[in-house]
Structure 1
Amino acid sequence: MGSVDGKVALITGGGNGIGAELARRLHAKGAKLILTDLDEHALADVAARLGGDRVLTVTADVRDLASMQAAADAGVERFGGIDVVVANAGIAVFGSVRNVDPAAFKTLLDVNALGVFHTVRAALPSVIDRRGYILVVSSFAAYAPVAGAASYNLAKAGVEHFANALRLEVAQSGVDVGSAHMSWIDTAMVREGKAELSAFRDMVDGLPGPLSTTTSVQACGAAFVKGIEARKRQIFCPGWVGVFRWLRPLLTTRLVQNLVLDGLAERVALMDAESAALGRSMSARVQQLEER
């Protein structure tokens, strides 16, 4: 793709975190933006900071195909088409399979997995017409299982393979598809998890070496822009995450399982107990958005 100057990018989850940072960086390079989020106030703040007439914000729920279709159609009407899609919207849910709130588990799949499909489906005709690029935001969790976050693993592994299948389907149309895989990024999702659940905080902080490091949103945004411009198949942030793409078969072996089992049952039990005490399996911010 090269320069994004003049290109039109649709970004879900554009009201905060990675989505907002990516919007800022693409806008600075001359891109036109269609930003969606469930949080209309956050979207308005991002639009106000960016300014100008190259930003269209649409309050939309990625769980609803009609809502995403309306957002994509509004973007095409405003800017003439869509060149780049970044399916970024996502939430986290905590708790073991035995104890997690089933409704929260379903909500995560609806947002993190079905939301990707709805986003891509809505924009795909225009992206094909413009021989564009689609970036599906997956995670390091697609490679490494995390006890107490099975719903997140399920969604992120699923959308990675969704991207792989989509790439085959649209290759002859001149469309490129990538997946993004990040470790801990300094987003509200990670900060809230650490603040509300000591079990989650201790798990992250207790990981060896770089595995415990939290990367800035700015570094993640820079990696995304570079990947979009190069139409990359995979984007890794930090770069070491890419190593685990190749190590993935080893991470579910009995040997590795035995290495991580020490103290794991106690940490998962504590996570369940803390979630039960909070009365929810998702963060307060996400819960509030759900209740609007």
Structure 2
Amino acid sequence: MRSSPLADRTVVVTGAARGVGASLAHEIARRGARVALLGHEKAALDAVAASLPGPAMAVEADITDLTGLAAAADAVRAGLGRPSAVVANAGIAEGGPFLASDPGAWRRVIDVNLVGSAHTARAFLPDLLDTGGYFLQIASLASIGAAPLMSAYCASKAGVEAFAHSLRAEVAHRGVGVGVAYINWTDTDMIRDADRYAVLRELRGHMPPPARRVYPVDIVAARLVRGLERRRTAVYAPGWLRLTQPVRAALPAVVLRVSRRALPRLEAEEPVMYTGPLGAGGLADSAASGRHAQAPRSGT
């Protein structure tokens, strides 16, 4: 792995305490990079950092706090050197009917996923301009085709895709690359928690076979890091997701047809509940931001 373009460079990964972020940190470190792990839960970040094969540091930071994120960027520069790559991975989700959702929690998804990604770029872009670096925005299949009962998450992921496209056009002439990573269902605690809710689980089950599959997190991370090494403008994990781009204009009609058939039956079987923050990462963000997870309630 020492032949990797990432070798002996500093790479920042946000949301690195678990899931995709932690797996990305391992893949990046295996390629000889120095890895800075940012996020909530300092103890979990420290554990990931300690498990990496090369130099690493854990910095606790809330990516929605620009002042704190700027301090984290200073700490990374002092501890590992100026970053050559930044992966904006941190994200949270909630599920359930829009009217049943907690307005503050709904906005928090937007703040973390979209505003937090922009803050991450703002804090580290001076380094990337200096190093001719690369910014990889983790998006989702939800950026291409929005789904019901996940309005905040879908809106935020569509937003980060647009943000990354805009930023790429703005900084390309200055030698900085910007990529968008589209990932499908990945075996993380967020997805496992979502699967506890029958309506979310069954809606995923109505997707075409490749799209409904949950992919191992290490396989997804390895593919993302290969894109990171090549400074791709678009990275797809799994690779078949690129086939959704030419037909994305037709996807809302397909989702509407499926939802019209499935949701009435699912609502008749049991109330469709608001989930609150999904997964340990969502709960950690709620705790760190001083929010209390709302008990599930019916949206019917």
Tell me if TM exceeds 0.5: yes
Cα RMSD of the aligned pairs, angstroms, is: 1.9
Deviations, residues 240-259 of structure 1 (Å, cap 9, x unaligned) = 11111121111124x66335
Q: What is the CA–CA distance in structure 2 between the aligned matches of 1:178 and 1:274, rounded to whole Å? A: 35
Shift in Å, 1:289 = 4.2
Give, in whole Å, the separation in 1 of the partners of 2:258 and 2:7. 48
Asked if structure 2 preserves the Cα contact closer than 8 Å seen for 1:180 and 1:234, the reply is yes
Equivalent residue for 1:281?
Answer: 276
Tell me, what secondary structure is at the counterpart of 1:262? Answer: helix
User: TM-score normalised to the size of structure 1?
Assistant: 0.92
1:11 to 6, 10, 13: 13
Q: Partner of 1:119 in structure 2?
A: 120
Aligned to 1:239: 239
Gaps of 5+ in 2: 289-300
Alignment match of 1:30 (pick from 32, 37, 42): 32
What is the deviation of 1:97? Answer: 1.8
Which whole-Å CA distance do the structure 1 matches of 2:33 and 2:241 have between them?
A: 28
Provide Cα deviations, 1:60-89, integer angstroms capped at 9, x if missing partner: 001111111111111111222110010000
Q: Supply the distance in 2 between the matched residues of 1:92 and 1:281 (Cα, whole angstroms).
A: 8
Task: Give the Cα separation in 2 of the matches to 1:236 and 1:157.
Answer: 15
Q: Deviations over 1:169-216 (max 9, x none)?
A: 101110000001111000111011112x12111222332211111111
User: Where does structure 1 lack aligned partners over 5 or more consecutive residues?
Assistant: none
2:44 counterpart letter in structure 1: A
Q: Distance in 2 between matches of 1:153 and 1:235?
A: 18
CA distance in 2, matches of 1:11, 1:271: 40
Shift of residue 267, structure 1, vs aligned partner: 3.7
Q: What's the offset of the Cα at 1:232?
A: 0.2
User: What amino acid is the match of 1:213?
Assistant: R
What TM-score does the superposition give when structure 2 sets the normalisation length?
0.89
The equivalent residue for 2:154 is 153
CA distance in 2, matches of 1:274, 1:20: 30
Aligned AA (2:257): N
Q: Distance in 2 between matches of 1:271 and 1:110?
A: 31
Distance, in Å, in 1 between the alignment partners of 2:84 and 2:269 is 45
CA distance in structure 2 between the aligned counterparts of 1:223 and 1:270, rounded to whole angstroms: 39
* Percent of residue pairs identical: 34
Q: Which residue of 1 aligns with 2:250?
A: 250
More displaced, 200-209 or 216-225?
Answer: 200-209
Contact 1:2 1:230 in 2 (8 A): no
Please list the CA deviations of residues 18-40 of structure 1 after superposition, one character each: whole Å capped at 9, or x if unmatched: 11111011111110011111111
1:202 aligns with 2:202: yes
Q: 1:90 & 1:270 partners in 2: Cα distance?
A: 31
The Cα offsets for residues 26-61 of structure 1, whole Å up to 9 and x where unpaired, read as 111110011111111210210121265x10110100
* Structure 1 residue 290 corresponds to structure 2 residue 286: yes
Structure 1: distance between partners of 2:189 and 2:215 = 13
Q: Shift in Å at residue 260 of structure 1?
A: 4.1
Q: Contact between 2:36 and 2:56, CA under 8 Å: does it hold in 1?
A: yes
- Aligned counterparts of 1:62 and 1:224: Cα–Cα separation in 2: 21
1:212 aligns with 212
- Matched to 1:204, the amino acid is R
The offset of 1:13, in angstroms, is: 0.4
Does structure 2 retain, via aligned residues, the 8 Å contact 1:185–1:215?
yes
Distance 1:273 1:36, change over 3 A: same
Q: Which residue of 1 aligns with 2:80?
A: 79
Q: What is the aligned partner in structure 1 of residue 292 from structure 2?
A: none
Aligned to 1:264: 263
Q: Per the alignment, do residues 77 and 8 of structure 1 end up closer, same or farther by CA in structure 2, a change over 3 Å counting?
A: same
Given that 2:105 and 2:276 are in contact with CA atoms closer than 8 Å, whether structure 1 keeps it comes out as yes
Q: Secondary structure at the match of 1:98?
A: helix
For residue 17 of structure 1, report the CA deviation from its aligned partner: 0.7
Residue 291 of structure 2 corresponds to: none
Q: Which amino acid counterpart does residue 189 of structure 1 have in structure 2? A: M
The answer for the alignment partner of 2:94 in structure 1 is: 93
Q: What SS is found at the alignment partner of 1:166?
A: helix
Tell me the amino acid that sits aligned with residue 132 of structure 1.
G
Match of residue 49 from structure 1:
51
Tell me, what secondary structure is at the counterpart of 1:240? Answer: helix
Deviation by residue 1:104-163 (Cα, 9 ceiling, x = unmatched): 101101110111011110000011000000000110001111000011110000100100
- Kept in 2, the 8 Å contact 1:95–1:268? The answer is no
- The answer to whether the 8 Å contact 2:7/2:31 transfers is yes
